[in-house]
Amino acid sequence: MTPEEAATLSSHLLADLQRESQITRKVFAALPDNQTGYRIHPKARTALELAWHIVVMETWFLDSIFQGQFYAGVSSKVPPEIKTGADVVAWYDEQFEPNFKKASKLSGEYFARPLSFLRKYDYPAVIYLQMILSHTIHHRGQFAAYLRAMGAQVPAIYGGSLDEPSEKSAEA
């Protein structure tokens, strides 16, 4: 991948990441305080654990890109001070904006550099921006299913939901 191609792709993916972060915030804010321990299945994470996993992994991916290496041992264990969906959103807000600004300043040359993902993949660094998006979107979909199953309001994600219809859906 050329630096020019990496710069073009990173510009597109960073814009997607910024848009998706707003949806992520909205979905986590919908978690009722009395449902943080909800599990959709005995083997599944709790709602709070799933939300925390998503934001920690997104932060880890970006930090790894900045460091030029993916480090093992990142933990998705929820810290004791994180008790609600609002706490997850507040932590995410503290992390996302500085990380986004830092990522936005990286050059095409930087994003074109091969980066090893725990010795499993060797892709240009820009490809990991897509992996961040895919990981977040995948698990956020799981989280939305948790919201519905626990009886919480499900916000609009890519169009209206039953609880937050789009203008077009509301007119129908």
Q: Domain limits of the chain? A: 3-171
Give the mean model confidence (pLDDT) for residues 101-110: 96
Which residues fall within 8 angstroms of residue 78, CB to CB, at 6 or more apart? 48, 49, 52
The pTM is what? 0.90
Lookup: tokens for 147? 């919201």
The pLDDT of residue 42 is 95
The per-residue pLDDT of the chain, averaged, comes to 93
* 39: β partners: 46
Q: From residue 106, how far is each of 36, 46, 85, 89, 128 by CA, in Å?
A: 37, 36, 31, 25, 14
CATH class of the domain defined by 3-171:
mainly alpha
Q: In this model, does residue 169 exceed pLDDT 60?
A: no
